[in-house]
Amino acid sequence: MDTTRNSLLENTERGLYCPAGDFYVDPRRPVKRAVITHAHSDHARWGCDHYLAAQKSEHLLRMRLASDAEIDFLPYGKTVSHHGVEITFYPAGHILGSAQVRIERDGEVAVVAGDYKLGPDATCESWEPIRCDLLVTESTFALPVYRWRDQSEIFSGINEWWKRSAEEGKCCLLYGYAVGKSQRLLAGLDPAIGPILTHGAVEKGVAAYRASGVPLPETTYVGELDRKHDFVGSMVVAVPSAHGTPWMRRFGRVTTAMASGWMMIRGTRRRRAADRGFVLSDHVDWATTLQAIELCDPQQVWVHHGYSAILARYLRSIGRDAVALDRTGPREEANDDEANGESTVGSGPVTAADDSPTATEGNR
C-alpha cells in the first residue's frame, strides 16, 4: 500500500485520506465520508455514507448518485469545519460544479485540485489559484506534446466543418463525453447553421446543465424525431461509443468528428476512425499545468491521474519537491471523463441503440 503522507493527507488504497478530519477526497471505494471534486464517475463513486460537494454540482451529482444518497452542498468560497479541519471549495474550471478542495488545519493548507483547466469556459466557473503547502495535481496531459490552442479557434473550426458539410448535404456527428465536454461543445456551436440534436446520454447531461442555470442553445433529443426525419444540415452531439453502431444509420450521409485532447496525437485519431479530430480538452495541458503549480507555489506537489512519474520527475529537476502517487499513464478507455475516455452517465451499461435520456448509463 502507498503510504505517502503529510500532516493533512495520506494516500491510501481507498484514496486521499485526511486522518484529522476523518474524510476521503474522491475515494476509490465506498467510505463513511467523501468529499467530492466533481460529478464524473471516477471521482463521485456510489456507496459512500455521506458526501460533501460544491453547490454548483448539485444537479449533476443528483443525476449521478442514488436518489437517496446523503449529500451536503457547499457554495464556492464558504468554509465548513469537521473535527477541526476546515474545508473550502474553489472553482476548478473542469466541468459544471468542479471544485478544488482546500483543506486547512493549524495554519497548514493542502489543496486537492481534482481535474481542472485554466481559461474561460461558458459552462463552468474558471479555475482560481490557491496558495498552499501541499498541492495534489492531476497529470492527464502532462507531456510537452500536449499544448492547447485557443478554444475560439477550435469552435470556429467546428462550425466551419458543420457549415461546409451542410452545404454538401450531410449530417454532422460530433462526439464528446456525455457530461462536461458535450455541453461545452453545445455552448460553442452556431445555431444559425442548422438544427442541433443530441444523443440520449448527452441530453441527460444537458438537462442537468439547464437546471443549473447554464445557457445552452436549443436542442432536440434524437429519439423524439421520426426515423424518416431529414437530418441533412443537422449537428448531432453524441457520445463516442455511438460511433460505428446501427444507431448512426438513421442520419443518412454523415461526417463524423471527435473532440478531445487525445486528438493531438495522430495515432489516436486513426484509432478513433472519425473523419475529423478537434483538439479540445477540459484538462490542463503541459504549459498550464506548470503555470498552475507556479501560481499556487506549494512546498510539495503530489501528482496522480496520468503521467505522474514524468511530471514529478520534471518538477524535481526544476527544484520542486514532487512525488508521483501512481506510476501508470492514462488509459483512453476506462471510466467516464476525458481523463480516461469514457462516454457515459449514471450506474449501468448503455448501448448507442438504447439512447433514451432516462436510461441508466454508466461504467464500462
Q: Could you report the per-residue pLDDT of 305-326, keeping only the tens digit for each?
A: 999 999 999 999 999 999 999 8
Residues 29 and 323: beta-carbon distance below 8 Å: no
Q: Smallest Cα–Cα separation from 343: which of 329, 358, 330, 355?
A: 355
| DSSP H or E run through 352 | none
Please report the pLDDT score of residue 141 as a whole number.
97
Please report the pLDDT score of residue 357 as a whole number.
65
Predicted confidence (pLDDT) per residue in 104-124, tens digit: 999 999 999 999 999 999 999
Q: Smallest Cα–Cα separation from 60: which of 213, 260, 261?
A: 213
Please report the pLDDT score of residue 361 as a whole number.
35
Q: Is 188 helix (H, G, I), strand (E, B) or coil?
A: helix
Does the reported pTM lie above 0.85? yes
| Separation between Cα atoms, residue 276 and residue 36, nearest integer Å | 34
Please report the pLDDT score of residue 116 as a whole number.
98
Beta-bridge partners for 14: none
Q: Smallest Cα–Cα separation from 101: which of 33, 29, 26?
A: 26
Along the chain (364 residues), what's the average pLDDT of each consecutive run of 10 residues?
75 96 97 98 95 98 89 98 97 98 97 97 98 98 97 98 98 97 98 98 97 98 94 98 95 97 78 88 98 98 97 98 80 43 35 52 30
Please report the pLDDT score of residue 268 as a whole number.
64
Delineate the domains of the chain, giving CATH numbers in brackets: 10-146+282-324 (3.60.15.10), 152-278 (3.40.50.10890)
